[in-house]
Amino acid sequence: MAGEAPGTPTTFGALASDAIRFWEPRRLLYNAALAAVVLIHFFAAWPGSRVLLTRDTVLGLFVLTVVANVFYCAAYIVDLFVQSSLGRTGLPRWRWLLFVTGTAFAAVLAHFISMSALSTGA
């Protein structure tokens, strides 16, 4: 992994383990960013948003949380592809760029979904 010469053959298992070591601790930051967006919208619309505290809304939020975490796993596809490519020297920089870009994109989606839910009342 770190310190290996570019083009050094490695097993898929080693590449996957390296990806897991990087991505899984950052999943907490990703989820915290999305939760912050939703909570900011929710409390900014208070007390009107209080009517959204229903079982169906909470279940819908759970489904969206699962979908967001499935989308987070798309980073593994990119990561494994980059690790398998010829040059892995810039991997840490590209991982962080991918993380920040993906988290920002997901936060924008959460923003628009939250705005829509609060404006329609569902």
Query: For tokens 């628009």, what's the residue?
Result: 112
pLDDT digits (tens, 9 = 90+) for 41-68: 999 999 988 998 999 999 999 999 999 9
Q: Mean pLDDT across the chain, nearest whole number?
A: 88
- Cβ atoms of residues 61 and 38 within 8 Å: yes
pTM for this prediction:
0.85
In this predicted structure, what is the pLDDT of residue 30?
98
Query: For tokens 């991997």, what's the residue?
Result: 91
In this predicted structure, what is the pLDDT of residue 121?
63
Low-confidence ranges of the chain (pLDDT < 70): 1-9, 86-88, 121-122
In this predicted structure, what is the pLDDT of residue 7?
52
Contacts of 80 (CB under 8 A, 6+ apart): 12, 15, 16, 19
- Cβ atoms of residues 49 and 38 within 8 Å: no
Contacts of 103 (CB under 8 A, 6+ apart): 29, 30, 33
